[in-house]
Structure 1
Amino acid sequence: MENSKSKSALQPTSVSGDEVTSMPYTMEIVWSKVVFYIYLHLTALYGFYLCFTSAALTATLIWASLLYLFGGFGIAGGAHKLWCHRAFKANLPLRVLIAVAQTVAHQGDIYTWSWEHRVHHKFSDTDADPYNSRRGFFFSHIGWMMCQKHPEFTRMEKTIDVGDLLQDPVVVFQRKYYTSLAWMLCYAMPAAVPWYFWGESLTTAFFVASMFRYVFTLHATWLTNSAGHSWGKRPYDKQINPSDSLLAASFSLGEWHNYHHAFPGDYRVAELGSSRTSFHVVVIDFFAWLGLVYDRKTVRGKVVRGRVLRTGDGTHSFALKDCPFNSGDIKDHSVVDDEI
């Protein structure tokens, strides 16, 4: 099915914090969460150590890698693109599968994850942003998980409409049983499969396929919040913090953040026609080929070019004098865009 060019979903946005008020605030650390994350990382480090010893079977390492890809797609392709931004639509069986993948990644239920991320987009890099990068790299990476939310986040999250999420029975079911599902799919199942099917030690399977894989997935996601708001070029909008960070894109398998904040409704999360690729886009396109995904939303090339020339930092090829698109003929790029 041809991609939809829904104007309302794809309207370029510029983030503003005008509605957010400044107030005296003392960060309150939640020490139980600090202890939990220390424990989590110690188990992950032991799992990482086992990956380089004869204790871990090759099949277990492959299994852990596949779970990383599966869970990563559940976050980037599912909670992010499908549910939070409505960048494409999927039929019921595929939504169930993606919800399972998102639960394997265990980063909060779909409803909560999408709600917080919508707040992040509307109030990016302000006190209302749950992972505000202006509070430092450590805070935007992991620190925000270990302290109480800023009062402005608590106030402004109520302004975000998330009623559409509860119209999906998959989201409702996952939210209702999330704790049990997360323990089973993130911790128990990843360890049980290597132990049962190819005789891996249950201890090794747990520390490698459950704990190390889980923490690695967490950091791959968190790098978008930290590195993706700190380092890199801003070819689409130099006025915002989100940047096209090679580090963040590498671990997220192709999510380019400056483009995404400029055009949040584009399912590609990167401009097609460049040398960039995204694992998650390949998967979505594959399911579209199978007929399980439809209404993929993209931004036309002429809209991207206009944004680059108007607000970009000058690093995009469109901004270069010898770029053929600057002649005014953007037919070739538009054709590529239309055929996605």
Structure 2
Amino acid sequence: MPAADISIMRAATEERVLLVDSQKEKEGPTLPGQIVWRNVVLMVLLHIGALYGLVTIPAASALTLVWTGVCFMISALGITAGAHRLWSHRSYKASMPLRIFLAVANSMAFQNDIYEWSRDHRVHHKYSETDADPHNSNRGFFFSHVGWLLVRKHPEVIERGRKLELTDLKADKVVMFQRRFYKLSVVLMCFVVPTVVPCYMWGESLWIAYFIPTLLRYALVLNATWLVNSAAHMWGMRPYDQNVNPRENKFVAFSAIGEGFHNYHHTFPYDYATSEFGSRLNLTKAFIDFMCYLGQASDCKRVSHETVMARVRRTGDGSHKSG
């Protein structure tokens, strides 16, 4: 048999093996999660406290409500502009002062340190909707929303995470400093600062300050982020790629300050806007643009309109307004 034919047969065999391995990864049995009861108890207590904070809103001063909104925005930006668009995807560059601000904001959000958050998010994109996906939406709404935090990580998540190239995160002094002092920074930024400022600055009661700008705000930011993993993977249109689960969900875009254009994001993950539509329902993009204006951010990556439209025609579900 000619050498060329042998090479072709070998390549075809290897391709079939890769396809079988990929199929096994996607369809293999999911191990039952071991419940982490400490996380269950803490999450239940947090949401009870948040509900109590919700009913005490009429007793809070106007300044306290404004402060709650400020803390919500800072916390959210620590995830969206920080851990997500800057550190996970490297979709733009940030100056040292901006990186420090985003690291502090990320600690206020209290959703794991930047290094761990970015590592898990990169795994999520690379192995989306498989057992290696930390919040695999194929396991249902509850699991992808919060359940994944209440059980031990699937072994595939851990294994795939170990194999990722993370030298950029390890080389970032801000990321590693935050990781080293993460627990202390969370205590200060997520709990102490939001509570103390209203008490000290305008005489709000400690009770109100703890339950509204601290617990209620924290729970709202958590759920806004979780909706990206759950609702935005289940409900909405897929105008850019109908072959993946992530959807365009305007409610999630609003609540997560710009992260709900999820079909676009999974199609073009390197775009700093995570959306075709600029700053519409996308306060995170507006923030990054403002940082560019101030000289604190630069090299924002963007997808050309021609590239977007070519993808819409090739893999979209036909829901694009000009598709």
Deviation of 1:178 after TM superposition, in Å, equals 0.2
Q: 1:17 to 1:99 in 2, by over 3 A?
A: farther
Q: Which residue of 2 aligns with 1:25?
A: 31
| Deviant stretches of 4+, over 4 Å | 16-19
1:268 aligned to 2:268? no
Contact 1:127 / 1:152 at 8 angstroms: preserved in 2? yes
Contact 2:254 / 2:282 at 8 angstroms: preserved in 1? no
Deviation of 1:29 after TM superposition, in Å, equals 1.1
Q: Which residue of 2 aligns with 1:37?
A: 43
Deviation of 1:162 after TM superposition, in Å, equals 1.2
Q: Structure 2 length as normaliser, TM-score?
A: 0.90
Deviation of 1:24 after TM superposition, in Å, equals 5.5
Counterpart among 133, 137, 141 of residue 137 in structure 2: 133
Corresponding pairs, count: 301
Q: Which residue of 2 aligns with 1:217?
A: 221
Contact 1:309 / 1:318 at 8 angstroms: preserved in 2? no
- Structure 2 distance, partners of 1:303, 1:200, is 53
Using CA pairs under 8 Å that are at least 6 residues apart, name the structure with larger relative contact order, 1 or 2: 1
Q: 1:296 to 1:18 in 2, by over 3 A?
A: farther
Q: Which runs of 5+ in 2 are unaligned?
A: 1-20
Q: Which residue of 1 aligns with 2:79?
A: 75
Deviation of 1:254 after TM superposition, in Å, equals 2.1
Q: CA RMSD in A?
A: 1.5
Give CA-to-partner distance per residue, 1:19-52, whole Å, 9 cap, x none.
836246222111111111111111111111111x
1:292 aligned to 2:296? yes
- Structure 2 distance, partners of 1:269, 1:278, is 9
Q: What is the one-letter code of the residue matched to 2:173?
A: P
Q: Which residue of 1 aligns with 2:14?
A: none
Q: Which runs of 5+ in 1 are unaligned?
A: 1-15, 320-340
Contact 1:20 / 1:127 at 8 angstroms: preserved in 2? yes
Deviation of 1:317 after TM superposition, in Å, equals 2.4
Contact 1:104 / 1:185 at 8 angstroms: preserved in 2? yes
Aligned-partner SS, 2:246: coil
**Percent of aligned pairs with the same residue?**
46
> Which one has the largest radius of gyration?
2
Counterpart among 247, 252, 267 of residue 256 in structure 2: 252
Q: What is the one-letter code of the residue matched to 1:259?
A: Y
Contact 2:239 / 2:319 at 8 angstroms: preserved in 1? yes
Return the structure number with greater helix share: 2
- Structure 1 distance, partners of 2:219, 2:41, is 15
Q: Which residue of 1 aligns with 2:7?
A: none
Deviation of 1:293 after TM superposition, in Å, equals 0.5
- Structure 1 distance, partners of 2:257, 2:233, is 17
Contact 2:35 / 2:150 at 8 angstroms: preserved in 1? yes
Give CA-to-partner distance per residue, 1:110-157, whole Å, 9 cap, x none.
000000000000000111100000000000000000001111112211
